[in-house]
């Protein structure tokens, strides 16, 4: 019985630790943080209009997680950049960008919630020119705007961003907040944990006499 109690406690503790890590708990960005992140992008030569949009996005921080919705048109052949072998495809060049992004995202509980290749040109489009053709679509979950900015302002990001520019001919990316998905990892892992706990609780304990005979 004692070992069963310990196992249940470990399962519940592991789920609680994951849920706490996955959930944004630090609240909205402070004014000082907003200024620091905007200044970091300005130092890289950011366009004034882009910096204003970034400031509005950071000033309106809800403190929660959000999803960046992306549509991408790959450039074939990609632009030539240092560190990429001649003849590389746009997907391979983009892979060089994701070599930094993937571990940086996962360390901060950020990850794709959907990804796919375009099956056809846009079937419903108005009010915008040159947007019929796309290669891919993706939705990236970020634990918080703070996490996204920590990734984007890291020194390693600046060199990698060149690969993204070389691999894409056009893209649209905008944030969704609030947002909702049925497959929240906290819910799924919680259900799995609950099932395991119920299986442990319902497992019949061996009689003491049987345990003594085995020993």
Overall number of domains in the chain: 1
CATH for 116: 3.30.70.100
For 54-82, what is each residue's pLDDT tens digit? Answer: 999 999 999 999 999 999 999 999 998 88
Residue 144 in any domain: the answer is yes
What six digits make up the tokens of 198? 């119920």
**Nearest residue to 63 via CA among 166, 180, 10, 142:** 142
pLDDT band at 107 (very low <50, low <70, confident <90, very high): very high
In a domain, 138, yes or no: yes
Q: Is residue 98 part of a domain?
A: yes
Query: What is the DSSP secondary structure assignment for residue 80, as one 8-state letter?
Result: P
Is residue 31 one of the residues assigned to a domain?
no
Does residue 87 belong to any structural domain of this protein? yes
pLDDT at 139 over 90: yes
6 belongs to a structural domain: no
The Cα 140–Cα 100 span in angstroms is 15
DSSP 98-139: HHHHHHHHHHTT-EEEEEEE-SSS-SS--S-SS-S--SEEEE
Residue 214 is predicted with a pLDDT of: 54
Contact 133, 58 (CB under 8 A): no
Which residues have C-beta within 8 Å of that of residue 178, sequence separation ≥ 6? 62, 64
Q: Could you tell me the pLDDT band of residue 158, with boundaries at 50, 70 and 90?
A: confident
**Global confidence as pTM:** 0.89
SS3 state of residue 140: strand
Residues of the chain with pLDDT > 70, as a percent, come to 93
Looking at every residue in the chain, the average pLDDT score rounds to 91
What distance in Å separates the CA atoms of residue 74 and residue 86, rounded to the nearest whole number? Answer: 17
- Has residue 133 been placed in a domain? yes
Determine, yes or no, domain membership for 142.
yes
For residue 213, what pLDDT band results from cuts at 50, 70 and 90?
low
* Domain membership of residue 102 as a residue range: 63-179
């Amino acid at each position: 019985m004692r070992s069963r109690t310990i196992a249940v406690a470990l399962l519940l503790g592991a789920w609680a630790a994951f849920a706490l890590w996955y959930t944004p708990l630090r609240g909205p960005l402070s004014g000082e943080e907003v200024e620091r992140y905007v200044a970091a992008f300005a130092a890289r030569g950011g366009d004034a209009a882009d910096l204003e949009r970034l400031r509005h996005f950071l000033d309106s921080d809800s403190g929660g997680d959000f999803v960046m919705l992306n549509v991408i048109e790959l450039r074939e052949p990609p632009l030539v950049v240092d560190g990429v072998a001649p003849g590389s495809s746009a997907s391979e060049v983009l892979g060089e960008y994701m070599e930094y992004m993937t571990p940086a995202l996962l360390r901060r509980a950020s990850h794709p919630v959907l990804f796919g290749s375009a099956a056809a040109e846009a079937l419903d489009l108005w009010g915008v020119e040159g947007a019929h053709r796309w290669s891919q679509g993706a939705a990236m979950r970020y634990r918080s705007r703070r996490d996204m900015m920590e990734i984007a302002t890291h020194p390693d990001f600046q060199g990698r961003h060149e690969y993204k520019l070389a691999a894409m001919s056009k893209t649209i990316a905008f944030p969704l907040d609030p947002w909702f998905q049925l497959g929240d990892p906290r819910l799924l892992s919680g259900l799995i944990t609950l099932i395991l706990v119920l299986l442990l609780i319902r497992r019949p304990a061996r009689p003491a006499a049987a345990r003594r005979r085995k020993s």
